Chains A and B, each alone.
Chain A
């Protein structure tokens, strides 16, 4: 009889025998000029390297080095040809002509069917991809994802091995930028079927078509990427190897590794920032592109549904103070709008063309709005508002700041509800809050990734804001490919968000980091794999 205990003992003995597998050679340093190799640290083990399902930063970063979509980004974030040599896009659809020398790491050519297969598979409900929505611009994509149509009904066809024809559900002005995204990477049908559930689980369970391939991957310990000899543009790649030799979420530990000359890049936080300063390292800044804001609960039974209450808070909050005194690390920008400053508009940056309206900081005015709200709600005194935040030290600090601010300026009581990541999400979805500390990171390089967030149908609109006027302008932007029409619509959205004080923008997130002085060409990206070492090299 097989008892669980026996099983466990067997497992234990077997595991001891396997212990040697986890050892690797270690005498590496951060940079190796002669061999053009660098060593890095990952902040966590990539949960999975199946591009059709990956959602986290680390997986997307690794996949960005070993995979290539129809197009890619250059160092400045401009779209450049990838597997596709050229393309034509109009309101109805797109045609991509693939280069004939693009190869998988086993030598097979990358063909149009690899894209058809990957996209069908991502949309299949059985795959349960969290990023399936990003393929909804493809005709019938949404219907397939909801199980109303078959994957074969996707209006994406391989005309021949090197021509890919796509029909759109609606005009998608930013489609070319989508094709650089992880969920749009190709997958070879034959290879995937030979691996099924194991696809992306280990180094040899993946087929690579990017500048690098994974040589070996020891879970939670190391991940070694080497130059992919089959990559069509391999001559443009300087690095021979990117060795992720350490995997730890501990920023202090990574700083120690950096000081010891073991890794080329590390991100700093409020604590390690001070240590890095005393070490006299050059501290670099980078804006991640994410916006953090307080989201109100707009459900009917909540008092935060009252616009004057929200406007009262809007008039006493000072984003500059938040950034300088509360966050107090360099790199963050005060939040003025849902739309961050880096987003492109018609000809220039969106925020230059459509200036974000700003509320004057006026406590008396705030009190007036509050009194109006009190009368409208027909209450004597405001009950404490529940502010839901996650359990990170920074989130708690920000919540306490808001608590103090609203008490001092409006005599409003705030009850802070600190919850773990999953529980915060559950409470947000169930609507158990008045105000929630939220944030949004861009999925693609277009205003729409922020704009449709508060459309009434958006599942991520967890405050359940619903305004036909807002929905109308989102639809206008969705159904047009004309930049002027789209940006005008987004400008309207920005105005509505302000007039109705739908959210309280707090800050645009910045990070500070250290980079080895002998490494050049590292790209930091707002959208897509970050940091990107693809075109980095070691200098003397």
Chain B
């Protein structure tokens, strides 16, 4: 188990290095000039800006400087917020995205497993058809539509009850998090429902289920101990990357609900060619995704004993 974990970790580090290098190359080849703004600046000021951000050096040298700094955990100063460290930006804003992401994933996983199991039980009957219709809706409608609709719903609820029962936007209390988390988790929940449903249907025909039935176990016991536990494996597989996707992909939700998360910085940095923030957030998110995959791999060993043996 230890060798297995170490091997995964090493692969993870190489992956992160690769992400960093690929992003670095891509970023420097995106057209546009990071130091250019509405007001044109004199050649002298331009030179000073280039010196400040190390852009006066050849790109290969910039790459090695960046790698060296990254290894010591320093991503430098933001181009747009010229007195904030990229590390500070990640430290201040990732917890917000993470909190929201965790809530969303709890909602998505609980819902996905529940609805998925339900559709499998009622296969091809009315509840199955209704839920699967909603699932297709959840997968195909983009997040910003749900975000706008969700917010509008809150406005209407509040005007109906006559006071601000649930905040329309902002961040701070649990009440602020409910709607954004629901909206953010919706797509994942739909995905998990489908996955859970097909996985449940596969398991139902397995020999061990027949054996369990033959032994005379109660249907509830068969459902929870044998069917659900086996069917949940594929769900756990996608859960890792989904956690990473949810905690990083909240740009629209963060914008609509005025949430101070890292997703906004991630997207805006690319739009504004903020080199240091692009590198910092991409490497951070990349590492986070890799970490999630590793954790899932290790968790697999606990849920499915066969994995441990390999």
Mark out the residues of chain A between 229 and 258 whose CB falls within 8 Å of any chain B CB in the assembled complex: 245-250, 252-253, 256-257
Binary CB contact string for chain B from 234 to 262 against chain A (1 if under 8 A, 0 otherwise): 00000000000000000000011111110
Q: Is the interface of B mostly helix, strand, loop or mixed?
A: helix
Output the residue of B40, B259, B261 with the most chain A CB within 10 A: B40
Mark out the residues of chain B between 238 and 290 whose CB falls within 8 Å of any chain A CB in the assembled complex: 255-261, 264-265, 271-273, 283-284, 287-288
Cα of A261 to Cα of B167 in the assembled complex, Å: 11
Return B72 CB to nearest CB of chain A, in Å.
7
Would you call A146 and B82 a contact (CB within 8 A)? no
Binary CB contact string for chain A from 112 to 130 against chain B (1 if under 8 A, 0 otherwise): 0000000000000111111
Would you call A16 and B255 a contact (CB within 8 A)? no
Name the residue on B nearest A129 (C-beta): B45
Name the residue on A nearest B166 (C-beta): A260
Residues of A within 8 A of B170 (CB): 26, 221, 245-246, 262
Tell yes or no: A379 within 8 A of B by CB. Answer: no
Residues of A within 8 A of B95 (CB): 15-16, 18-19, 22
Return B156 CB to nearest CB of chain A, in Å.
10
Tell yes or no: B23 within 8 A of A by CB. Answer: no
Tell yes or no: A305 within 8 A of B by CB. Answer: no
Cα of A12 to Cα of B285 in the assembled complex, Å: 11
* Residue from the list A15, A132, A201, A248 in contact with B91, Cβ < 8 A: A15
Would you call A55 and B38 a contact (CB within 8 A)? yes
Cα of A260 to Cα of B89 in the assembled complex, Å: 31
Name the residue on A nearest B93 (C-beta): A220
Residues of A within 8 A of B154 (CB): 256, 260
Mark out the residues of chain A between 252 and 305 whose CB falls within 8 Å of any chain B CB in the assembled complex: 252-253, 256-257, 259-262
* Residue from the list A245, A256, A425 in contact with B36, Cβ < 8 A: A425
Cα of A256 to Cα of B9 in the assembled complex, Å: 46
Given contacts A8-B288, A26-B167, are A425 and B92 in contact (CB under 8 A)? no
Return B2 CB to nearest CB of chain A, in Å.
17
Return B42 CB to nearest CB of chain A, in Å.
6
Tell yes or no: B207 within 8 A of A by CB. Answer: no
Tell yes or no: A540 within 8 A of B by CB. Answer: no
Residues of B within 8 A of A425 (CB): 32-33, 36-38
Would you call A26 and B176 a contact (CB within 8 A)? yes
Name the residue on B nearest A16 (C-beta): B95
Given contacts A11-B91, A129-B45, A130-B41, are A26 and B172 in contact (CB under 8 A)? yes
Number of interface residues of B (CB under 8 A): 75
Tell yes or no: A9 within 8 A of B by CB. Answer: yes
* Residue from the list A11, A55, A128, A131 in contact with B52, Cβ < 8 A: A128
Tell yes or no: A528 within 8 A of B by CB. Answer: no
Would you call A18 and B91 a contact (CB within 8 A)? yes
Tell yes or no: A511 within 8 A of B by CB. Answer: no
Would you call B39 and A22 a contact (CB within 8 A)? no
Residues of A within 8 A of B172 (CB): 22-26, 221
Would you call A55 and B168 a contact (CB within 8 A)? no
Show 26 residue pairs from A and B whose CB-CB distance is below 8 angstroms, ordered by the A residue: A3-B13, A12-B94, A12-B98, A18-B95, A19-B99, A22-B92, A22-B96, A22-B172, A23-B173, A25-B172, A48-B83, A50-B83, A125-B45, A125-B48, A133-B39, A201-B84, A219-B260, A221-B171, A221-B172, A249-B255, A252-B148, A257-B169, A425-B37, A426-B32, A459-B41, A460-B39
- B residues apposed to A, CB below 8 Å: 9, 12-13, 16, 31-34, 36-42, 44-45, 47-49, 52, 70-73, 77, 80-84, 87, 89-96, 98-99, 148, 151-152, 154-155, 158-159, 164, 167-173, 176, 255-261, 264-265, 271-273, 283-284, 287-288, 291
Query: Closest 8 A-B residue pairs measured CB to CB?
Result: A459-B40, A220-B260, A422-B32, A221-B260, A19-B95, A7-B73, A423-B32, A248-B258
Q: Kindly list 19 other residue pairs between chains A and B, CB separation below 8 angstroms, not including A220-B92, A425-B33.
A: A2-B71, A4-B16, A5-B12, A55-B38, A127-B48, A130-B41, A130-B45, A146-B44, A197-B83, A218-B260, A250-B255, A253-B255, A257-B169, A420-B32, A422-B32, A422-B273, A423-B32, A426-B36, A429-B40
